[in-house]
Structure 1
Amino acid sequence: MVIFRVIAFVIIITIISGCQINGPGKIHKVTIEKDPSAFQVVEVTNPASTLSLTVRHMVSNDDVFVECYVPGFQFTDRSTSNTNKEGHLKISVDHQKPYSVYKAAFIVKNLSKGTHEIAVTLVDSQGKTIEGLYEQFVVTIP
């Protein structure tokens, strides 16, 4: 069991070190130094499309690391087909205008102290929300 945790930690650190999303100044590369078992996990499914969305998040200082797992789904900024098996995420913080993220893992950086609501929505390659694949969670920055 310890071996699996070490392997999971190495994989997460590898993902984190490569994640840098260009956006409206809120998402940046950051190093997470906490145990990955501290992640909070929520899973939602859509039986009509056979897709499921698992969202994990962890707070570190004033940053929130978010990881989304969608088996059989390709994250892309370009449409190569008209299926709902590819697309991207729409992220909204505190009900602000959502912005697009084209990777499964990202960092919401420099949040102010207090409680914040983060919404993650899976959209297809045409920009349409995939029904039922939406998750909203609350984080508290100390």
Structure 2
Amino acid sequence: MRVILCLLACIFSLVGCQNDKPKPETNKEMVSFSGQAAMETIGTEKQLVVHQHVRGANVYVECIINGFSFNDGNGFLEVKVDGKAINPIKQAAFVIKALPKGSHQITIELMKNEQESYDLKESFTIKIV
């Protein structure tokens, strides 16, 4: 008898949990943008924002460039450390490794594949201790 009562109590509690769950209050209407429309909403002027972090002798760099994608093959980053260019960078995040101790001037410029500048350049100074 106890087993039957326990079984019925379990069944009733499971059935009680079957209430309608609230639906999320999101807009179900999806809006798609063509590439041109998306560019107009963001703005057509490119901007370069650089974040850097020094850890040991390495500099971790992240570049945010609105209206530009390295996947399109439209250019690269020219990186100079103390005026000396390192290999062209074709991604937004990278590491400059094994810098010697002291202060270093780092310049990052967005370039077109034809070695022509997009006129986007950022410079900063870091110190390796």
Q: State how many pairs are aligned.
A: 86
Larger radius of gyration: 2
For CA contacts below 8 A with separation 6 or more, give which structure has more relative contact order: 1
- Give the whole-Å Cα distance in 2 for the aligned partners of 1:135 and 1:119: 6
TM-score (norm 2): 0.62
1:137 aligns with 2:124: yes
1:106 aligns with 2:101: no
- Give the whole-Å Cα distance in 2 for the aligned partners of 1:59 and 1:107: 10
Counterpart residue number, 1:97: 85
- Give the whole-Å Cα distance in 2 for the aligned partners of 1:105 and 1:69: 9
- Runs (4+) of structure 1 exceeding 3 A deviation are none
TM-score (norm 1): 0.56
Task: Tell me by how many angstroms 1:76 deviates.
Answer: 4.7
1:116 aligns with 2:111: no
- Give the whole-Å Cα distance in 2 for the aligned partners of 1:119 and 1:54: 12
Counterpart residue number, 1:65: 60
Task: Tell me by how many angstroms 1:87 deviates.
Answer: 1.1
Give 5+ residue unaligned stretches, structure 1.
1-48, 79-85
Letter in 2 for 1:50: E
- Percent identity of equivalent pairs: 34
Higher strand share: 1
Give 5+ residue unaligned stretches, structure 2.
1-43
Letter in 1 for 2:113: S
- Partner SS, residue 89 of structure 1: strand
Query: What RMSD over aligned residues (CA atoms) do the two structures have, in Å?
Result: 1.7
